[in-house]
Amino acid sequence: MIGGYRAVIQLGSPSAAVKDAANTDAVEDLVALLKTVRPKRLYTHNPADKHPTHVAVALRVIEAVRRLTGEYRPEVFVGLEVWRGLDWLCDADKVRLDTGAYPELAKKLLTVHRSQVAGGKRYDEAAIGRRAANATFLASHETDATNSLNFALDLLPLLDRDVTPAAYVAGFIGRFADEVAKTIGGVS
């Protein structure tokens, strides 16, 4: 109700099942769901996340979207930062999502689950802090365009079955390594 969503669908797949690549139940559920809903924009975890379950979810969603035909595929398909931020990406590789329009709503959504804010782990404050840092540190010589920014990876290229998620992420890492080496070389 807080977010005004038309629907929230939880598949109920346990983490162990999602992490088991041989278990296709989650993929099959996702294919059926995506065919029914036909989202134009699809957001999931990114395959460079630090959390194994998040990586597994990203891989299952990628597989599900790969099984869809053109008319069912989303126009936008991105993997968001959660347990590993994406601020390290080269700027040209970042999908920038302005999250600053509704700060009070963001706070309410981030605190709706007690498990995310109780017991010494303040995911809400961390997420809001990361978004503020992303907006501020994006460009050193420009005024901030927003006060809250989330980064994502464009996952549409992964719909090509010849591109593996590991190789795709390695490309981002390689470009980052090249950029760092070039910057160091330029001032050494």
pLDDT tens digits, residue range 90-140?
999 999 999 999 999 999 999 988 888 888 889 999 999 999 999 999 998
Residue given tokens 């597989």 in the structure block: 63
Q: Which domain holds residue 133?
A: 15-181
H helix or E strand, kind and range, residue 97: strand 95-98
Answer yes or no: is 10 within a domain: no
Beta bridge partners of 130: none
Q: How many domains does the chain have?
A: 1
Residues 6 or more apart whose CB falls under 8 angstroms from that of 138 comprise 91, 96, 144, 145, 149
Q: What is the CATH number of the domain that holds 82?
A: 3.40.50.10320
Answer yes or no: is 80 within a domain: yes
Strands 41-45 and 76-80: parallel
Residues 6 or more apart whose CB falls under 8 angstroms from that of 31 comprise 64, 67, 68
Distance between CA atoms of residues 176 and 88, nearest Å: 7
Residue-level pLDDT at 83: 92
Answer yes or no: is 4 within a domain: no
Answer yes or no: is 3 within a domain: no
pTM score? 0.93
Distance between CA atoms of residues 19 and 42, nearest Å: 20
Distance between CA atoms of residues 65 and 57, nearest Å: 12
